[in-house]
Amino acid sequence: MNDKLVYSTGIGRIDANESTQPTFTGDGIVRIRRETKGRKGKGMSVIEGINFQEHDLAALCKWLKKQCGCGGSVKGNTIEIQGDAREKIQSLLTTKGFTVKLAGG
């Protein structure tokens, strides 16, 4: 009997040649945009483009929430901070050494 795993309901088909680790494919620029869609008109600052392999997103999110005095969370590879605090987040991340751009209107 062969004990080699070929399929998992959580991952799908398992190929021995493919790595299951996600890779970062960003350009090194952190983008901050304001998003209200699906939030009943409440604004939220969404931060994307941070290399999750080099930086701890949960710790960075916790630090940003503390500095802004508001809530937030990490969803996938993005950080969501409640409210429209794009300018404050931009200055905070610039002091940390990130290249930051404000995206959207």
Segment 54-86, tens digit of pLDDT = 889 999 999 999 999 999 999 988 999 999 899
pLDDT at res. 18: 54
First to last CA, the chain: 60
Element (H, E) at 78: strand 78-82
Domains of the chain, with CATH numbers? 22-102 (3.30.780.10)
The model's pTM: 0.74
pLDDT at res. 16: 59
pLDDT at res. 38: 80
- Whether 97 and 30 have beta carbons less than 8 Å apart is answered as no
Residues 26, 52: Cα–Cα separation, whole Å: 10
Bigger pLDDT: 59 vs 18:
59
pLDDT at res. 89: 94
Strand duo 99-102 + 29-35: pairing:
parallel
29-47 pLDDT, tens digit per residue, is 999 999 888 878 888 999 9
Residues 94, 105: Cα–Cα separation, whole Å: 20
